[in-house]
Structure 1
Amino acid sequence: MLDYTCFEGILFPANLVPKETLQNVCNKFVVKEDDLIILTYPKSGTNWLIEIVCLIQTKGDPKWIQSVPIWDRSPWIETGKGYDQLIKMEGPRLMTSHLPMHLFSKSLFSSKAKVIYLIRNPRDALVSRYFFIRKLNIVKKPDSLGTYIEWFLKGNVAYGSWFEHIRGWLSMRECDNFLVLYYEDMKKDTMGTIKKICDFLGKKLEPNELNSVLKYSSFQFMKENNMSNYSLMEKELILTGFTLMRKGTIEDWKNHFTVAQAEAFDKVFQKKMAGFPPGMFPWE
């Protein structure tokens, strides 16, 4: 149950992400011009972004998000089930992925498909993921946060290195069909982010429709929506006390890192992210 698949040197949860599917995504999957792809590194606000995009598509009407599980509204391309759904799906397709750039279908890079890439402070993504995997029966659990920080900094976690993921996908940031969002900005100005996504997708929403998107994508609504909070997940994959939505805050890492851990993390961050302009990331 707790095995990893190793593909191209990167770890994936074996029971969710089969090697064969990864090979298919890499070599066979054809991205279509009207596809919309949500890309993130794990625990960066993925499901929140999916919820917002789904609500924008229905102009704030919550019927779709309240009747169809989130993984069926925006299937995960690298999972066996999601891949099978997507290749049969009529367009326009909405899909989600945590894959690093070099493992994604090469057809993306010559298409006009739209991509939204959401980035979160890696310290917060790390802490969120640490608590998340402790309640899952999917991958090996670290014995402490300190151990997990070491794994994370070395990229020995599912989906590989945060630093490589960000560096890879951000190389597309100047493309017209590529929108970069930051979790921190979403938290501070959710309506501003919703409007930015609408502009990117060419969607014109009335003020009442925008308010509805804001309302139904809120932390509280999502936490209570069984179609979005992963409470419908197969019971053998989750442990007692599992919750997808733990806090949804920013800078929670400060409650968990020691001074030494924060300094060690900063050192690696500076080295790995050298070359990006100062102030590129909102948490700096």
Structure 2
Amino acid sequence: GTTWMQEILTLILSKGDPESATTIPNWARAPWLEQRYCSTHLPCQVLAPALRQAKTKVIYVARNPKDVVVSFYHFHKMAKFLPDPGSFEDFLLHFLDGTVQYGSWFQHIKGWLGQQLDLDLFYITYEELHKDLSRSVERIADWLGFPLQPEEIRVIEQHCSFSSMRENAMVNYTLIPCEIMDHSQGRFMRKGMVGDWKDHFSPLQNMLFQKIYREEMQDSSLRFHWAMD
């Protein structure tokens, strides 16, 4: 979702001109706040005070946590700078405990979306992008104050399709050296689908996830655009 949003914003701000998106790596176009600025997975308590003071626009992309844990597991297998994830079952337990990088998914999403009244925050889900990319691009552009023409939206939609990004070396991380990412373990741009968790979770794992999800989110009034079953 983060990579997807990096591409969408690149194309919105260039009015659909794909030159920078096809010639400059995405980590150079939208460097990571953990290293510099612009993109981040950090929890809100680290950033919210400074963002409020600076009146910074924030786009928060959320995704079904079941798909998040699957995606993160496969990324761990590739990323040599992250701990070995072990088995999927072990990694899932760490994810549910919040003992993975960036902490608890539940606290992360509740923390950021709990700041909606205090931050200039635009909330969108991976599932919304997947369902209607052109409408999502239009909404983001309007919120940014960068309204687009229909043809510009069509160009962005084409460039930001998963198939296009998967083949774009500026996006798909194939330029990252093997000593940093082990490309023999798979592709960074893996499937780009909704509901991939169903091919990874056992019935017992799903029951455990559902139980903890209900416990963690029962007091939340947040509404999400994904199915948990």
* Structure 2 SS opposite 1:236: coil
TM-score normalised per structure 1: 0.76
* Larger RCO (CA within 8 A; separation ≥ 6): 2
Match of 1:276 among 206, 210, 220: 220
Deviations 1:222-281 (A, max 9, x none): 111111111111321122244110000001101110111111101111111122237x01
- The alignment status of 1:72 with 2:44, answered yes or no, reads no
Higher strand proportion (structure 1 or 2): 1
**Which residue of 2 is the match for residue 59 of structure 1?**
15
Deviations 1:10-57 (A, max 9, x none): xxxxxxxxxxxxxxxxxxxxxxxxxxxxxxxxxxx1101110110000
Match of 1:266 among 210, 215, 227: 210
**Which residue of 1 is the match for residue 194 of structure 2?**
250
**Which residue of 2 is the match for residue 163 of structure 1?**
106
**Which residue of 1 is the match for residue 117 of structure 2?**
174
What residue identity is the alignment partner of 2:54? S
Counterparts of 2:8 and 2:102 in 1: how far apart (Å)?
A: 24
**Which residue of 2 is the match for residue 25 of structure 1?**
none
TM-score normalised per structure 2: 0.94
Q: Which moved more, 1:172-181 or 1:120-129?
A: 172-181
After TM superposition, give the deviation of residue 176 of structure 1 in Å.
6.6
What residue identity is the alignment partner of 2:168? N
**Which residue of 1 is the match for residue 83 of structure 2?**
140
How many residues are aligned here?
Answer: 226
**Same amino acid, percent of matched pairs:** 38
Change (3 A) 1:212 1:112: same
**Which residue of 1 is the match for residue 150 of structure 2?**
207
Q: Do the aligned residues in 2 keep the contact of 1:133 with 1:141 (CA within 8 Å)? A: yes
Gaps of 5+ in 2: none
Counterparts of 1:234 and 1:105 in 2: how far apart (Å)?
A: 33
What residue identity is the alignment partner of 2:195? E
Q: Do the aligned residues in 1 keep the contact of 2:51 with 2:119 (CA within 8 Å)? A: no
Q: Do the aligned residues in 1 keep the contact of 2:165 with 2:172 (CA within 8 Å)? A: yes
Q: Which moved more, 1:127-136 or 1:203-212?
A: 127-136
Higher helix proportion (structure 1 or 2): 2
Q: Which runs of 4+ in 1 moved over 4 A?
A: none
Change (3 A) 1:176 1:157: closer
C-alpha RMSD over aligned residues:
1.4
**Which residue of 2 is the match for residue 189 of structure 1?**
132
- The alignment status of 1:222 with 2:165, answered yes or no, reads yes
Counterparts of 1:136 and 1:111 in 2: how far apart (Å)?
A: 33
